[in-house]
Amino acid sequence: MKYLNILFLFAIFFLSSSSLTNQITNEFIILINSQPHIYILSQVHNASTFIPAQIPILYTHSYISSISNWYAIYPIFSSIIHQYPQLKWLFICEPQTRINLPELIKYAEKSNDFYIGHGLYDSEPSIIHHFSFSLDNPYPDLSSGFLISRHVLSLFTNRLESYTKKIDFIIDVKYELNQLINELTSIKLLDRSDLFCNHNKPNCLTWYDGQYDYSCQRTDIQLDDLYIGIKTFIDFHKTRIDLLKKTWLNDKLNYNLFTNKINETTDNKNERFIILKENTERGHCHKTFSILHYFYKNKENFQYLIIVDDDTLISVQRILRVIRCFMLSNDVPIVLGERYGYGEYYVYPTGGSGMIFNRQAVQQIISNCECPLPDTPDDMFLGLCLKHINIPLTHIPELHQAQPNAYSKDWLEHEKSISFHKFEGINVEEVYQTYLHEEPPIEIKYHHEKDEF
């Protein structure tokens, strides 16, 4: 495609294949956490060219046709150990993980441990981890990768067959994978953050290199092409909306506030309100689909729609960079979001972190799906809709459904966050300045259009 040449090559491995010629095939296998999107696949493909041919490379998305919840990683373990009977060690990582491969293999061969990586720790109970909390039970950072032995994999898969506890939601893959390993094998992660690093430094066997994250050098997509629909309610106009204006929301952006009604006394008559006929206390399916319809009918000059809550903090500049990398064709429907999984059934873009659509996706959604009830959970219904019309959801891990304190500080330090959600109990302006603020471009064009619904 036209823009593939602008995607940076990032080398996961930089050692020649000659240094590994004596390694036994299939004893050490690499599993890359991947997705079926051309931007990610191009990164993964380029990375795999640096890996010696005798080292098998697997990709999580390769199991999409046979395993519905492939993205959770653990459901594919059984297939791997049956496919590779000689397997001794599985190394699981991200496309941006870099490895000193000979030294990592040497370390694995000498290790008496079974499950090793860079340990992440929560500082407090959080909703994304089901309010489970332990200071002495780390979970692995996928960015720096982790080793897991065949012993653990075999024990895990054997016990998973008789595991009857229902797994309702898949929210944070690395955390929930670790919880299952702990529960089914009684084996905890050995934290070797000195060897499995989130930054390159001496003695690291692996490290994360995010310097190329969403760095597609495109100029054909500008902020002028983005339209933002903000879900709100009359009671929050002078609280949440005012906080948005003190952080990321400014008049140069193309946006509207979708609300139930306006206060004739306190609301600015020049504000960009769109009044909806129906309002719900929860669910908000009617409101979200009203935004989808409004965008498609009234904002024909815009190619990309972003839907956020009135208590969602975003980095508009980083969203623009994500769109430049992932929206490679306006003819193919594309939806970006933070992926939540509902058991084995379907995935959905969690609404609080922000949802991103191109025009083709919006057209297909509103043409094929209609809210069962006004207060149906909008994001979950969108997930069902996407499954019905066969549009994949592309996961953007830097979009966050919760506040910063819900995530490991170590993990947040090596990513450029794109969003956070909920204002309760935090200094909103401080959170924005710390995690999301970037200087705006010198000039932004914007459309002057009459808002009608």
Lowest mean pLDDT among 31-35, 45-49, 158-162, 235-239: 45-49
Question: Could you tell me where in the chain the CATH 3.90.550.50 domains are found?
Answer: 223-435
DSSP per residue, 93-146? E-TTEEE-HHHHHHHHHH---SEEE-EE--SS--GGGTT---TT--EE-TTT-E
Amino acid 177: pLDDT: 97
Residues 140-156: what's their mean pLDDT? 97
pLDDT in tens, 308-354: 999 999 999 999 999 999 999 999 999 999 999 998 899 999 999 99
Quick one: average pLDDT of 192-197? 98
Q: What is the mean pLDDT of the chain?
A: 89
**Which residues make beta-bridge pairs with 258?**
231, 274
Four-residue CA torsion sign, 328, 395, 405, 413: negative
Residue 9 is predicted with a pLDDT of 33
pTM of the shown model? 0.91
Protein fold of 223-435: Spore Coat Polysaccharide Biosynthesis Protein SpsA; Chain A (3.90.550)
Give tens-digit pLDDT for 228-280: 999 999 999 999 999 999 999 999 999 999 999 988 888 887 789 999 977 77
- Of 1-10, 262-271, 363-372, least confident by mean pLDDT is 1-10
* Percent with pLDDT over 70 in the chain: 90
Which whole number is the average pLDDT over 171-183?
A: 96
For range 213-218, the mean pLDDT: 82
Cβ 113 vs Cβ 190: under 8 Å? yes
What mean pLDDT is predicted for residues 135-160? 95
Tell me 36's DSSP state: S
Question: What is the distance, to the nearest Å, from the Cα of residue 59 to the centroid of all Cα atoms in its chain?
Answer: 17
Per-residue pLDDT at 89 exceeds 70 = yes
- State residue 424's pLDDT score: 96
Q: Are strands 206-208 and 196-197 parallel, antiparallel or unpaired?
A: parallel
Residue 61 has pLDDT above 80, yes or no: yes
For the segment 6-44, what is each residue's pLDDT rounded down to a tens digit?
333 333 333 333 344 444 469 999 999 999 999 999 888
Q: Given a cut of 50, is residue 429 above it in pLDDT?
A: yes
| Reported CATH class of domain 4-208 | alpha beta
d(CA 156, CA 72): 14
